[in-house]
Structures are given as structure tokens and as C-alpha cells.
Amino acid sequence: MFRKRNFRAILHTDIKLSESEFILNFAQKFNKYPLKVFIYLFDLSIMLFLAMKNIHLLIFSLSYVIVLQSIPHTNNKTNSKEEKVLEKQLLRAHSISNEVTTIRYYPYDKEDLEVSITLLDSILKENEYTLIDDFDSKVKAIFGNIKRYDNIYFLRQYNKCYNSNEILYNDSEGFKLNLYFSIDKKLMIGQYAIPELIDYRNKYPTTSKIEDTISVTKKNRDGENIYVTRWRDISDLDAQRKENTDRLVHRNKYLFNDDRASFDWLIKNDTFFMEQLVKTFGYTQDIDLLEWVIKKTHYDKNRPEDYGSLFWVKNCDGSITLHSNTFKLLQKLYNIKTAYRILEDIKGYINYLGNDELSNSEELTEKQRIEILANIAYFAEQYKYTDNSSYQMMGRLRYFFAPSFDYLKEKHYFGLPKFKEWWDKADYDEYYVRQCEYEGSCGTGYHPLSEKEWKKRNNK
């Protein structure tokens, strides 16, 4: 008989073993009872957390991973892969916590992903999602040349250049930012548990009863409560589930069906993801999206790279791509009301990227910095001649890169037709920027030479 008193006896007699040795030893002793073992192993993890006075939360989490990877999870009473995965997820519960912290960690694996893809496929069909023939090329057009693993394109949102030989199913940091693109089902999904996608208690009432076996409260020696939060204990789980499925439906319909209603929903309810498309992945082909991002992004000296992402993106091979559509849109948006904001933003960014000490975290070569700023300064300089703008954009560029003129000439000024003319005319502006912003301070008590005086002194 598998009794709790035996479980407690083992806990006390074997506690001198290393934690992983103890857990595996326990699992081997009771391997004949897989379901009961799994239930009691959950109990065991909590008791280890309580029993060992100085245990760290990280060790607790790692032990939990060892258990799940070492014990057979098969239950003959479950009939489908979906039910087996659901049982595993329910036994791990939603989270555990004490008065100080909460651990929500689940070792997501290939089976979890496959089941979630099947579920999302059904959800998308119910929402009139259309499968497209050019799914592969669409994925690459938006997200870049991401790596394929069998029938899955895999993307780490905070490391778009991930290029390991193995796909990651488990997000060790716990942020669940990985994205998976199913080539077979032609859809995109993140890391979701079954309870986050469907009403599991309604669809699988028998399997769901396994949550009844999970103790929800323990006490340590000091009387402190340790809590287990089961999935069914999440009070707003229905609302979370709806939000998850809405987000997935609208992401897929926008990305692969060009659904404008989904676009409208996403820019209101999924702003981080939509901004990422432009700022992280360099997707600027959707003009409506790009315009929305441009209007809400301004230069911030505390996050200068955020503004810069409107103009360029660094590729995984180390090269850069300039966003020509950004310049076209800024020109369209430029008017008497927006001029000040646009030019102030550009001025701030030129001053930032032109200073290699300030911008060294960008990891750009000198030639890449010159190319980026030559294009940005050229765009802004046009308003000196059309609107009498006084921002000295080309003079600012000369201040930072005058010694690099030979490279500009070698690159034929990056194909910018009036660049050489405007560069030559910006000699006084370079002097003004140097005197007033970098090597002096213009204002009360000091004024630089006027342009007429400066030209006379320098025989211009």
C-alpha cells in the first residue's frame, strides 16, 4: 500500500542524500505506481521546500525539473495525447508561493507545443482564418531569415539571431517569449498550457478531477504557509483564456491574412508585439503599422536606441538595413505642426549616434554609423532649404565625421543626389555647432561670429 507515512519516513531517512539523488531514489522505489508517484512527487517537492531550512528557490525549481524528466508519466486511463499532456500540466499546478515570492515554472516540451498547435488550429478555423500558400515566405518577410527545425520555425523574441542546432521548447527564464511557426498548420503560437487555451474542466471533466488530489496548503516549521495554486483556483482564468485566444487569433489573421480588423485590435491590445515587428525585426512594409509606430516613438535620451530602430535594423550577419519607408513617411507627416517634434528628435539622435562613446552599445562599425547618419542628416537638411530650418543637421554631421569625408566620397555619398552640395554649404553650420554646443556655450556674454563675419574671416 502506498501510504503517506512511508513517504514521510523516506523523507526523514534519506534526507542526507543529495536532493536529486533522493528524488530519483524515491521515484525508483515506487515506479510500479506511476500516477500515485506523480501525485506524491508533487507533495514531495513541497515538503522538500519546507523541510530543508536553507534551500533556495532555484534549487527547488531545478529539482522539480529533474523529477518530471525522470519519471514515466503514462496513465492508462487517459485516451488521448491531449489528455496526457493536460494531466501533466494539472499535476504541476499553476504556481506555488509563500509570503515572499511565487514560482511559476513548467518544463514545456515538444508534446506541449504539439497539443497547443492542434488546439489553436481548431480555434483559428472557428474564426475564419485562411491558410495561405506562401506561409514560409511571409514568415521570413516579417521576421527575417529565422531558423527552421523540421516542421517548425523557431524564434526567440529577445534573441532573434538564435542559431543553435536544437530548438528550445522550455524557456528557462520563465518569460515565455518564444514563438513557434508551424509549417504544417500554417500558424504562429507561443508557449501556452492547455488551461490557457480551452475550458479544460468542461472538455475533460474526468481528467480535471486530478486537481482534487493536490494539497493546496502546507506549513513549515515556523508555521509559515506555503500555497499551491491549482489552475482551477485562478479566479479570472476564463478572462485570461479569452485574452490569449483573441491575441493568437488576431496575430495570425493580421500577419498571414492581412486582416485590417485584426490590425486595429492589435494596436489597441497588443502594442508591444506590434512595435516589435518594426523595431526588433525591421518589418516596415505595412505602411499603416509603420506610421502608427512612428507617431508614438520619439527620441528619449534614456532610450535612444528605441528611436533609432525606426531608421535601421542590424541583421544577424552583422550588416545593417536602412528603412527607406521611414524617411518617406516622415516626409509625408512633416508639416508646420509636426516640424519641431520631428527635427528635435532627429537632432537628439544625431548627437547620440555621432558620439561613439555614448553609442558604443549599438555595436556598429564606424562605416555603419556614417551610413546611418548620412541618410538621417540628409533627410533633415532638406528643411533648411524649404523651411529655413535652423537645426544645422549637415553641419552636425560634419562635426562628427569631417575626417571621414573620403569614405563618403568613396561610397558616392550613398546615392543621395544633393549630399555633396549641402555638405559643402554646411561649413559655417559646423563652426556654429562646434562653438555653441561642444567647445563653447552661446548665450549671454558670448555669441559666435555671424555667417557673414565667419566667411569673411575664412575667405569664403
Per the domain annotation, does 40 fall within a domain? yes
Specify whether the CB–CB gap between 242 and 218 falls below 8 A.
no
The confidence score (pLDDT) of residue 79 equals 65
Quick one: pLDDT at residue 151? 96
Partners of residue 229 on adjacent β-strands: 95
Residue 439 lies in a domain: no
- The residue-averaged pLDDT of 107-121 equals 96
pLDDT at 2: 36
What b/e readout covers 158-178, taking b as 16+ CB neighbours within 10 angstroms? eebebeeeebbbebeeeeeeb
Position 175 confidence tier, pLDDT thresholds 50, 70, 90: low
Residue 31 DSSP symbol = T
Contact of 342 with 354, CB cutoff 8 Å: no
Higher pLDDT, 150 or 38: 150
Q: What is the DSSP string of 42-72?
A: HHHHHHHHHHSTT--HHHHHHHHHHHHHHS-
For residue 160, give the C-alpha cell: 532573434
Determine the pLDDT at residue 219.
78
| Separation CA 236–CA 257 (nearest Å) | 31
User: Does the pLDDT value for residue 332 go beyond 50?
Assistant: yes
On the question of pLDDT at 40 being above 60, the answer is: no
**Three cell numbers, residue 226:** 506555503
Same domain, 218 and 317: no
Whole-number pLDDT of residue 10: 30
What are the tens digits of pLDDT across the range 258-296?
A: 999 999 999 999 999 999 999 999 999 999 999 999 999
Residues 307 and 400 in one domain: yes
Say what the pLDDT of residue 434 is: 93
Across 374-391, average pLDDT: 96
Is the model more confident about 50 or about 336?
A: 336
336 in a domain, yes or no? yes
> Is the pLDDT assigned to residue 18 strictly greater than 90?
no
418 and 318 within one domain: yes
Per-residue confidence band for 30, with pLDDT thresholds at 50, 70 and 90? very low
Q: How confident is the model at residue 173 (pLDDT cuts 50, 70, 90)?
A: low
- Per-residue pLDDT at 172: 64
Confidence grade of residue 59 (pLDDT, cut at 50, 70, 90): very low
Is 106's pLDDT higher than 90?
no
- Asked if residue 440 is part of any domain, the answer here is no
Cβ of 234: how many Cβ atoms within 10 Å? 16
**Could you tell me if residue 199 is inside a domain?**
no
Do 211 and 335 fall within a single domain? no
Which residue bears the cell 481548431?
A: 122
Q: Could you list the residue range(s) of the whole structural domain that residue 38 is in?
A: 4-105+206-234
User: Of the residues 198, 217, 234, which one is the last residue of a structural domain?
Assistant: 234
Same domain, 307 and 224: no
Q: What is the mean predicted confidence (pLDDT) over 341-361?
A: 96
Whether residue 68 is found in the same domain as residue 216: yes
d(CA 12, CA 367): 66
In this prediction, what percent of the chain has a pLDDT beyond 90?
68
Question: Is residue 57 in some structural domain?
Answer: yes
Q: Do 221 and 366 fall within a single domain? A: no
Domain shared by 397 and 312, yes or no: yes
Residue 57: all three cell numbers together: 528557490
The number of C-alpha atoms within 13 Å of 269 and in the hemisphere containing its C-beta is 16
Rounded Cα–Cα distance for residues 9 and 21 (Å): 16
Q: What is the pLDDT of residue 447?
A: 82
Give yes or no: residues 285 and 225 share one domain: no
| pLDDT confidence tier of residue 211, bands split at 50, 70 and 90 | very high
One domain for residues 411 and 296: yes
- Concatenated DSSP letters of 168-211: --S-TTS---EEEEETTTTEEE----GGGTS-HHHH-HHHHGGG
End-to-end CA distance of the chain: 101
Residues 230 and 373 in one domain: no
CA dihedral sign, ordered 371, 300, 141, 260: negative
Phi-psi region of 388 (alpha: psi -120 to 50; beta: other; left: phi over 0): left
Residues 289-311: what's their mean pLDDT? Answer: 98
Q: Does 365 map to a domain?
A: yes
| % residues pLDDT > 70 (the chain) | 81
Pick the closest to residue 61 from 2, 124, 106, 118 (CA basis).
Answer: 106
Structural domain tally of the chain?
Answer: 2
Specify if 32 maps to a domain.
Answer: yes
Confidence of residue 167 (pLDDT cuts 50, 70, 90): very high
Please state, in angstroms and as integers, the Cα–Cα distance from residue 40 to each residue in 131, 208, 442, following that order.
Answer: 45, 17, 76
More confident residue, 411 or 3: 411
Q: What is the pLDDT of residue 73?
A: 45
What is the average pLDDT value for the chain, to the nearest integer? Answer: 85
Please determine, for residue 121, whether its predicted confidence score (pLDDT) is greater than 60.
yes
DSSP 259-318: -HHHHHHHHHH-HHHHHHHHHTT-----HHHHHHHHHT----TTSHHHHHTTTEEE-TTS
